[in-house]
Chain A
Amino acid sequence: MAKMNMVQAINSAQDVMLERDDSVVIFGEDVGYFGGVFNCTEGLQKKYGEQRVFDTPIAEGGIIALAIGMGVNEMRPVAEIQFSDYIYPAFDQIVSEASRLRYRSGGEYWAPITIRTPCGGGIRGGQTHSQSPEGIFTHVSGVKSIMPSNPYDAKGLLISAIEDDDPTLFFEPKRLYNGPFFGDPKQASQGWDKHEKGEVPEGYYTVPIGKANTVRMGHDLTIITYGTMVHVSLAAAELSDYDVEVIDLRTLIPLDIDHIAESVCRTGRCIVVHEATKTGGFGAEILSQIQEECFWKLEAPIGRVAGWDIPYPHAFEWEYFPGQGRVLDAIKKVMEG
């Protein structure tokens, strides 16, 4: 085991897979010699050479098209989209091509590609470096969506994604790269070195896609969340007077609804929490499935905490960000009416 932050864990996953499998290549804007704007590919080009880790033109649609073509030719490309805010030029290639190729070809062709992309706010990135667009892609048939919340899961899930024969979107909450974040920017930042999930095996291991993880047991209420909001929710749970259970989804598609339903049917109350904007967000889907599965066990209306329905505002970042206070308010409302 080694102490790793999330950047190092993501780097290590790619290192392990480059070592194990010649069909794995890594490319994206600035990922080669420079090692990526967040250092997630640092040192990999030097170790594996320019043909396996290389820079691309600034054209996200071209990057994903390149990955699809390589995937069809028996490779396992890992493409980085530098910020998830830049993913939209690749939308058609992800939605109409990568996600539908296996289906439309009757199973004759597929593209086992992994798309890594940093997401989320809290880094003073303004509206073009802070978005959480996962809900736009969870609506699409044929692509898996993953968002880890810690270094251990990040490495194990990324290896699973690279080995997966379906296209995967791997969202990396960049506010968590260097340490867990509890939602209060004034609080001194912590590293992953003191966190149990900062203990990461140096070699190969996997965390399964499609399996949620209960990170805090409780009896009164279940919080269902993912990414940065796992840590915000845990902090709120600690402050709360109630006994709160917290589920880290880890994978959004395929959704582990059985895991969610087991918990919510037991506690009878729940809140869905995400950083992305509220209307039409993935939380709405979770909420809808919960009422399908647990309606007669629910003791109170389901709560929802999300970003406001506005672009991510630079100067009002912390008014936008759904911090502990908003989660605590939701807990109170669901518990007390």
Chain B
Amino acid sequence: MVPKSGKNLNIPSPRHRPGEEPEFDNLDIPNAGTVSRPDIMTDPKQMFDYANTVIRVLDMKNNALGEWDPKLSPDDMRKGLYDMLTTRIYDDRMQNMQRVGKMSFYMKSTGEEAVSVAQAMALDKKDMLFPSYRQQGLLISRGRDLLDMMNHCLSNSKDNCKGRQLPIMYTWRDGNLFSISGNLGTQFCQAVGWAVASAYKGEDAIAATWVGEGTTATSDFHHGMTFAAVYNAPVLLNVVNNQWAISSFQGFAGGEKATFASRAMGYGMPGLRVDGNDFLAVYAVTKWAADRARNGGGPTLIEHFTYRASAHSTSDDPSKYRPEDEYEVWPLGDPIERLKNYLIEIGEWSEERHKAAMEEINAMVIKKYKEAESFGTLNSGSRPEISSMFDDVFKEQPDNLRRQRQQLGV
């Protein structure tokens, strides 16, 4: 067969492949502080521009600029920094433990910590979270014990998912965090349903949900958008555009034709496009959308413009499909470094304190991990009771499952 070259057919291709020198000269990124902040109840028809720019607060010289600056207290910013650091160190430790066979699978959120940590801080604890699989910062920011997260990932005797879920598919009812599915996008319209129920009951709580840019191609994404718009659901619909869906760059989700935030326009809802590596901008945009939803303004679509610094998961090698150093030249930098440098710039942090914080977190993570291992791992030590695998299929165990459990001899 001769390769085809039909001139009217477009197969998207990323700018760089392995071995090529990466650059992002094509990106049109405005200076920090230059985008205005509209009133929270602004008519979406007046908001098209916000979906086609990048809302930024922190510039690359450690200044917080413009109307979107949330003016957070130094304590809040230090909490954000600490939680982002914890997320990164936790991810690194867990990935290493996966590499030595302690668990079946892992997914890091390196480079995207600001999205989950800043958003969790901007939302109320009563707000319900429907994440995808790369927002572990939500749990950390809301104060879930790392031991519980590790117990889940190790599928050990203390795993609250009872050994039924892949690592990182957390469930945390006490923290108002929904069960993570693993099938992409299914939670998007479920979050809308949760929000509709909250509005039906006259309650103040809102919902928030996350998908990657690749998942905007699914029907679930459009169901969520349509239902949210139709019922004016108090929900934040987040698209984490980290440029890569395993090996498929964002062009395969249509990102070269229009921004993901601009999808909102066709549904009559605001779309905000934010620098996802800018903790302060993510916080400000989330607060804007949450205030709007709580005020009866309905849903907002937020595109977090960021970069997936690590592999998709422990099952793929990104050097097979993109330049290994692509993240190094990402023009919006690293979220932890940027917030750290800003805090140092305003005299509220220092290299010494940063180093000490890292050491403290490292020691805490190692200690927690040792404790978690004492409750077993997937391959050694204690697991949940085998008989429990027949529980929770239904609220009450039907006869056929009772008989199958007996057949297994447990």
Binding site for B on A (CB under 8 A): 25, 51, 56-57, 59, 61-62, 65-75, 77, 89, 92-93, 96-97, 101-110, 141-142, 144, 165-166, 210, 254-255, 257-258
Contact = CB atoms under 8 A, between A and B. Distances in A.
A70 B200 CA distance: 10
A65 B193 contact: yes
B392 A65 contact: no
Interface stretch (B159-167, B305-313, B336-344, B364-372): B159-167
B59 interface: no
B400 A69 contact: no
Given A106-B171, A254-B398, A66 B230 contact: no
Contacts of A62: 189, 220, 223-224, 226-227
A69 B190 contact: yes
Contacts of B223: 57, 59, 61-62, 65
Contacts of A57: 223, 226-227, 230
Given A62-B223, A103-B392, A254-B400, A108 B179 contact: yes
Contacts of A71: 193
Given A73-B128, A254-B399, A66 B227 contact: yes
Interface string B208-241: 0000000000011011101100100000000000
A141 B130 CA distance: 23
Give the interface centre of B162, B179, B220 by most chain A CB atoms within 10 Å.
B179
Nearest to A109: B179
Interface string B93-109: 00000000000000000
A211 to B, nearest CB: 12
A66 B223 CA distance: 9
A65 B220 contact: yes
B181 interface: yes
Contacts of B196: 66, 69-70
B168 interface: no
Contact of B192 (A69, A109, A142): A69
Contact of B179 (A101, A141, A165): A101
A292 to B, nearest CB: 10
**9 closest pairs, A vs B, by CB?**
A69-B193, A62-B223, A65-B189, A73-B197, A105-B179, A69-B190, A66-B193, A254-B398, A69-B194
A166 B393 CA distance: 9
Give the interface centre of B160, B165, B172, B196 by most chain A CB atoms within 10 Å.
B196
Contacts of A73: 128, 193-194, 197-198, 201
Nearest to A107: B392
Contacts of A68: 190, 193
A165 B400 contact: no
Contacts of B169: 104
A210 B394 CA distance: 13
Nearest to A22: B201
Contact of B164 (A51, A89, A104): A104
A105 B394 CA distance: 12
A69 B189 contact: yes
A325 to B, nearest CB: 34
Give the interface centre of B160, B190, B201, B230 by most chain A CB atoms within 10 Å.
B190
Interface in B168-197: 169, 171-173, 178-179, 181, 183, 186, 188-197
A65 B230 CA distance: 15
B392 A102 contact: yes
B4 interface: no
B395 interface: yes
A103 B220 contact: no
B303 to A, nearest CB: 21
Contact of A255 (B164, B197, B394, B400): B400
B124 interface: no
Contacts of A101: 179
A89 B183 CA distance: 15
Interface of B: 128, 130, 159-162, 164-165, 169, 171-173, 178-179, 181, 183, 186, 188-198, 200-201, 207, 219-220, 222-224, 226-227, 230, 391-395, 398-400
A109 B159 CA distance: 15
Contact of B391 (A59, A66, A107, A257): A107
B132 to A, nearest CB: 14
Contacts of A108: 160, 171-173, 179
Contact of B197 (A69, A104, A106): A69
B155 to A, nearest CB: 11
Nearest to B398: A254
Contacts of B400: 254-255, 257
B197 A142 contact: no
A108 B152 CA distance: 14
7 contacts: A59-B226, A61-B189, A72-B178, A92-B183, A104-B169, A105-B173, A108-B160
A70 B191 CA distance: 9
Contacts of A107: 162, 391-392
A146 to B, nearest CB: 14
Contacts of A142: 393-394
A25 B220 CA distance: 22
Contact of A109 (B178, B207, B394): B178
A108 B87 CA distance: 24
Contacts of B179: 101, 104-105, 108-109
A104 B161 contact: yes
A255 B192 CA distance: 34
A101 B194 CA distance: 15
Contact of B200 (A51, A103, A141, A165): A51
A65 B186 contact: yes
B164 A106 contact: yes
A57 B198 CA distance: 20
A75 B195 CA distance: 12
Given A66-B189, A108-B160, A166-B394, A25 B200 contact: yes
Give the interface centre of A61, A101, A105 by most chain B CB atoms within 10 Å.
A105
B157 to A, nearest CB: 12
Contacts of A210: 398
A106 B194 contact: no
A69 B190 CA distance: 4
A65 B192 contact: yes
B181 A97 contact: yes
Contacts of A166: 394-395
A106 B160 contact: yes
Nearest to A253: B398
Contacts of B193: 65-73, 77
A103 B130 CA distance: 17
Contacts of B394: 102, 142, 144, 166, 254
Contact of B186 (A51, A92, A165): A92
Given A97-B186, A108-B171, A210-B398, 15 more contacts: A57-B227, A59-B219, A59-B227, A65-B192, A65-B223, A66-B190, A66-B227, A73-B201, A97-B190, A102-B392, A103-B164, A104-B164, A105-B179, A106-B160, A107-B392
